[in-house]
Structure 1
Amino acid sequence: MENPIYTFATPTIISGDRQNVDVIAHELSHSWSGNLVSNASWEHFWLNEGWTVYLERRIQSAIHGEAEFDFSSIIGWKSLEDAVELFGKDHEYTKLIISHKNVDPEDVYSTVAYEKGFHFLYYLDRLVGREAFDKFIPHYFTKWSGKSLDSFEFRDTFLDYFNGLGDESIKRKIATIDWEGRLYTPGLPPKPDFDTSMVAACYELASKWRDPSFEPVPQDLESFTANQKIAFLDKVQESGTLSAERAQLLGKTYDFISSKNVDLKSSYYRVALDAEDPTCVYGVAELLGSVGRMKFVRPLFRGLNKVNRSLALETFAKNKDFYHPICRGMVEKDLGI
């Protein structure tokens, strides 16, 4: 969580594998998007988080190469798909500008502001070109330094800047932007053509798991980073539910359960819960007693509730005082209690 001068960092980012540095990049980026320049109200929350995700991925690409930007964006797209599926593709809460009238802001909170906001900025970046957009970034943060703004003020700032350049080609391009559609249309935005070079092997292995006769070995993913393993698991989950037996084989062969990377472990448990694997539920319950980050807690409780509601209720009752009040309240709604 970003704060002026210092950051509250969740211990789940310390995983022993030098992964999760994206979280550090994200919180550092909040020094500009969120702290230096802030959204005027919760309706325009994407201006905080969409910008921050964009800057986070630019930092990653500067360190690891442009393919890392697309790789992170692919993982983010999956989380956006999950959020839209959870709410429903026509739901108010899947818009960039969300009406908060008579609504608890905590009910609205999801990855939509983060990932859909990122995709809007990435669309603008590609539309005007990276070189031109990179000059706009410091202009934006300088102009609004120490202030707050809404989506319409952002629109005006963007248009004034690029129309003022006198570049007729850029003028024609920005005239095509459907601001109303981008800001108010629910559901998924158009999906960009990402560079899939870093996920190709992940997807290839995931496709093999569609065949019930595929016999896995630990060496299948020994060259994968933790984030590539997560991309593999995301694709397995997306490709269709495994049988309980195959889910058990997945976890046993690749030893996901012993991982200290909570992102990776929770991704595996989501696959196992979808498969209604009865052997995974106590591991899920144990994990839910040791972490309080909503990114993990909410989907795991929802999955556990479908497989073993009594254990889900028991686990929540045991750990509810451990969770942050916001997390506790959201899980109560997820469990219907």
Structure 2
Amino acid sequence: MLRRTLLASALAIPALAACATATSGARDPLAPLPLDTSSHARPEIARVTHVSLDLTADFERKVMRGKATLSIAARDDAREIVLDSLNLVIHRVSAGGAETTYTLGESRPSLGAPLTIALNGARTVEIEYESGPDAASLQWLTPAQTASNKPFLFSQGQSILNRTWIPTQDSPGIRQTYDARIVAPEGLKVVMSAEMLTPEGEPLGDGQRAFRFRMPQPIPPYLIAIGIGDLVHRATGPRTGVYAEPSVVERGAYECADMERMMDVAEALYGPYRWGRYDVLILPPSFPYGGMENPRLTFLTPTFLAGDRSLVSLVAHELAHSWSGNLVTNAVWADGWLNEGFTSYIEGRIGEALFGEENARMAEALAWADIQTALTTVTPDGQRLHWVGEVDANDNSSAITYDKGALFLRTIERIVGRTRLDTYLRSYFDRYAFQPMTTQHFLADFRQHVVRGDAALEAQLLLDQWAYEPGIPSNAQAPVATGFNDIPGHIEAFIAGGPPAAAPWEHWNTMQRQRYLQTLPRELSATQLRDLEAAFGLDDIGNMEVRFDWLSLAIANSFEPSSAAIERFLSEQGRGKFIRPLYRALMQRGEWGQALARRTYAHARDGYHPIVAAAVDRILAA
């Protein structure tokens, strides 16, 4: 889902296992961390523990400006602290209230530059600065790009983009609390991934309003997030609700009606929800991902608003991150499966509890098919759960990080039993709450608490093969989904010349429709494609997952009658999961596809988030 710079030193990983403790809050603030070469920080010497922001959102200049005050834990002999910075404009730096010296080192693409600040014995640092107008984590939308015709701003920090608007140590292993005072124009509401202290803001008398926030739980810095726009709130339960623009919020509240039930299921399985409220923010269509699990305030794409609650697994996934990812976090991005694989497994458990076993089996079967495709397209190094070397997640398959990771846990469940795994996972989240984790330490912990020296069980589990080797180990089993049993017959009948309308499309759920479209032969005649589109209205179907599968099939056959639908789909939303594969497919379809891709991109690019635009730039330039 998310772009990551993934470099890790396997040699440094044992340090985490040596320092981990069994209770949250008991960690040494300078506890050793594995080397994270996606950050310039040297947390073994001096480490940020709290970030206090006092910023103004300047919509005219498209910058965040103000100051950040950092609280620091440091060794007695620490003379400096090293932060991450990418295109920040630094105006003044002080340490302990006195102006101090600082240097900005050489900037590298994506990684940015080290900001090294002399401490002079101080344990607080204040930085006056502003973000650059092209900060990759911030998208400033014009009124024309929003539903309410008012300006909008949102951030996307994962994996290492928050260094473009916050000078801090931008590594997932360095947990930080934060508070913020954000000034925005009157008529706009500020929300953040934190407790809102001033829901209506404080009028400043100059056409602006200040909003205050606090996050007392220590979080990885990529989870600091902000949204500013014409926003209203609708409650969906005592602890849950939806923020969105006024014309969107009722649709959002309808789709998210089950959020409180989802929380109840997750808490029964894995322990209490530790973040207070759980709200979601439905963003404008340019949001580049399905969702982002910012604590207390998940960011969501509007593409999940299908009108029939058929895509709410996305909400279950982001809520599950409140345990796996936000509570216990991968210490380095090479271990991203500890966030996403665990979360995909929990998403499945929530879905099974709310919507039935067969629903869960169908989702697992679709994921299994995605894994099989990935094994033919992803390099061996990219097939490992613990990624080796330098990996860009834009080029790595989520079928590995998400789906192989979840399959690993389902395999463990099948072998040791669901009750035993649930008991372990609940204790795991309790013991490592608000702490970083590595693959090596997770496996050691699992062996200690579950395997317990049982050689036969160890041999059954193949733990190291799952974590460190490419491919899928021999103990994996393909899921069986009876809800898909009739689909091959309907496909055979259609290929033999029967009408597509003979299939029970109206009675199929989203996953059955996806399975049908994904399983159809990749080569179809123009007549067959016309019949499919006419029977099911696929060019304009409201379910974006199904429409994506249809347009992928249309592109694979250079189906000219769907050209306008392809262009419309690529222009009206900017979700990278949909955008990147379709442009890539178009560029492989010769003159027809390339012309359509370039024509569409020429007018759609300005509406894409910088993350997605950069990816499509590379696709079209290849």
Match of 1:316 in 2: 601
Deviation of 1:61 (Å): 0.5
User: In structure 2, what is the Cα distance between the partners aligned to 1:225 and 1:75?
Assistant: 13
Q: Does 1:291 align with 2:291?
A: no
Deviation of 1:152 (Å): 0.9
Match of 2:464 in 1: 180
Q: Does 1:255 align with 2:537?
A: yes
Higher helix share: 1
Q: Which has the higher contact order (CA 8 A, sep 6+)?
A: 1
Deviation of 1:328 (Å): 1.6
Match of 1:39 among 320, 323, 330: 330
Match of 1:99 in 2: 388
Match of 1:198 among 483, 492, 498: 483
Deviation of 1:276 (Å): 2.1
Match of 1:143 among 420, 431, 434: 431
Q: Which region of structure 1 is more displaced relative to structure 2, 300-309 or 138-147?
A: 300-309
SS at structure 2 position matched to 1:175: helix
Q: Once superposed, what is the RMSD of the aligned Cα atoms?
A: 2.0
Match of 2:398 in 1: 110
Q: 1:207 to 1:97 in 2, by over 3 A?
A: farther
SS at structure 2 position matched to 1:20: coil
SS at structure 2 position matched to 1:266: helix
SS at structure 2 position matched to 1:276: coil
Deviation of 1:95 (Å): 1.8
Deviation of 1:225 (Å): 1.4
SS at structure 2 position matched to 1:38: strand
Letter matched to residue 256 of structure 1: L
Higher strand share: 2
The superposition leaves residues 120-169 of structure 1 with CA deviations (integer Å, 9 ceiling, x where unpaired) of 111111111112111111011112111111111110111111134x9x6x
Q: Is the 8 A contact 2:490 2:502 kept in 1?
A: no
Match of 2:584 in 1: 302
User: In structure 2, what is the Cα distance between the partners aligned to 1:82 and 1:315?
Assistant: 28
Q: Which region of structure 1 is more displaced relative to structure 2, 200-209 or 260-269?
A: 200-209
Q: Does 1:153 align with 2:441?
A: yes
Q: Does 1:26 align with 2:311?
A: no
The superposition leaves residues 253-291 of structure 1 with CA deviations (integer Å, 9 ceiling, x where unpaired) of 121222111111111111111122121122111100011
Q: Is the 8 A contact 1:218 1:253 kept in 2?
A: no
User: In structure 2, what is the Cα distance between the partners aligned to 1:333 and 1:203?
Assistant: 37
Q: Is the 8 A contact 1:128 1:174 kept in 2?
A: no
Q: Does 1:74 align with 2:359?
A: no
Q: 1:38 to 1:290 in 2, by over 3 A?
A: same
User: In structure 2, what is the Cα distance between the partners aligned to 1:301 and 1:188?
Assistant: 29
Deviation of 1:318 (Å): 1.6
Q: Which region of structure 1 is more displaced relative to structure 2, 146-155 or 270-279?
A: 270-279
Match of 1:245 in 2: 527
Structure 1: segments with no counterpart, 5+ residues: none
Letter matched to residue 24 of structure 1: V
Q: 1:104 to 1:217 in 2, by over 3 A?
A: closer
Q: Is the 8 A contact 2:499 2:531 kept in 1?
A: no
Match of 1:276 in 2: 558
Deviation of 1:105 (Å): 4.8
Deviation of 1:37 (Å): 0.5
Match of 1:215 among 499, 502, 512: 499
SS at structure 1 position matched to 2:507: coil
Q: Is the 8 A contact 1:288 1:297 kept in 2?
A: yes
Match of 1:57 among 327, 331, 348: 348
Q: Is the 8 A contact 2:365 2:478 kept in 1?
A: no
Match of 2:188 in 1: none
Match of 2:451 among 141, 146, 163: 163
Q: Which region of structure 1 is more displaced relative to structure 2, 13-22 or 181-190?
A: 181-190
Q: Is the 8 A contact 1:25 1:56 kept in 2?
A: yes
Letter matched to residue 457 of structure 2: K
Q: Does 1:333 align with 2:598?
A: no
The superposition leaves residues 169-197 of structure 1 with CA deviations (integer Å, 9 ceiling, x where unpaired) of xx622333333322233245555232321
- Work out the percentage of aligned pairs sharing the same amino acid: 30
Q: Does 1:119 align with 2:401?
A: no
User: In structure 2, what is the Cα distance between the partners aligned to 1:336 and 1:110?
Assistant: 23
Q: Is the 8 A contact 2:358 2:482 kept in 1?
A: yes
Deviation of 1:68 (Å): 1.6
Q: Which region of structure 1 is more displaced relative to structure 2, 56-65 or 74-83?
A: 74-83
Q: 1:82 to 1:219 in 2, by over 3 A?
A: closer
Q: Is the 8 A contact 1:251 1:257 kept in 2?
A: yes
Deviation of 1:231 (Å): 1.5
Q: Is the 8 A contact 1:230 1:267 kept in 2?
A: yes
The superposition leaves residues 63-110 of structure 1 with CA deviations (integer Å, 9 ceiling, x where unpaired) of 1222222111111223333444443xx432222111243x54544363
Higher Rg: 2
Structure 2: segments with no counterpart, 5+ residues: 1-291
Deviation of 1:214 (Å): 2.0
Q: 1:188 to 1:324 in 2, by over 3 A?
A: farther
User: In structure 1, what is the Cα distance between the partners aligned to 2:516 and 2:485?
Assistant: 9
User: In structure 2, what is the Cα distance between the partners aligned to 1:100 and 1:318?
Assistant: 37
Q: Is the 8 A contact 2:552 2:585 kept in 1?
A: yes
Match of 2:509 among 195, 210, 225: 225
User: In structure 2, what is the Cα distance between the partners aligned to 1:188 and 1:298?
Assistant: 26
Deviation of 1:209 (Å): 3.0
Q: Is the 8 A contact 1:50 1:118 kept in 2?
A: yes
Match of 2:518 in 1: 234
User: In structure 2, what is the Cα distance between the partners aligned to 1:327 and 1:160?
Assistant: 42
